[in-house]
Amino acid sequence: MMNENENMQDPEFNSDEHVENTSTETQDLTNQLQEANDKYARLFAEFDNYKKRTSREKVELLQSAGKDVIIKLLPVLDDFDRALGFMKDIPNDDPVKQGVDLVYNKLQKTMDQLGVKEINVIGQPFDPEFQEAITSIPAPSDDLKNKVIDVIEKGYLMNDSVIRFAKVVVGQ
């Protein structure tokens, strides 16, 4: 085997050519390394984004897991509100009224635990993000113009997201 010193003594050995080949090879290897590092960084970033996205989707899924069931229970809450409104003249010691109150309060606590909250809109300015205007009537006073005067159907939020818009009457 010839070592580098023997190559230099060889009349066919061109030192400039050897250095040029070595620097070209080094440059090629450096470019390949940079490309591999770039591919690795992109792949790592894509995987990190995937993990974040799936984690976020999982949290959203858990938060809205029972959303369909809750939406179907909202008319039951409305019926309880109407029943309690009709029962306001009945004495509080009446067992039927106590039973209705008990069931209503349990349902209300369960909804609270699930992150369901009623949207309070009476007297508030009309906001199409949370309300649906069913009709408008002349405002009884100037301070009620463009404000909610009456609620036809309550609106609800679940984890700060509207699951049912409040159906309201707006003053004009």
DSSP output for 85-131:
HHTTTS-TT-HHHHHHHHHHHHHHHHHHHTTEEEE--TTSBP-TTTE
Virtual torsion, Cα 6, 9, 13, 15, nearest 10 deg:
100
Give the model confidence (pLDDT) of 127-156 as tens digits. Answer: 999 999 999 999 888 888 999 999 999 999
pLDDT confidence bin for 1, thresholds 50/70/90? very low
Query: DSSP E strands: which ranges in the chain?
Result: 116-119, 131-137, 148-153, 155-158, 161-164, 166-171
pLDDT in tens, 95-131: 999 999 999 999 999 999 988 999 999 999 999 999 9
Q: What is the DSSP-derived secondary structure letter of residue 12?
A: T
Q: What's the whole-model pTM score?
A: 0.64
Give domain limits for the chain.
15-63, 67-171
Class level of CATH domain 67-171: mainly beta
CA distance 131 to 126: 7
pLDDT in tens, 33-90: 999 999 999 999 999 999 999 999 988 887 767 888 899 999 999 999 999 999 999 9
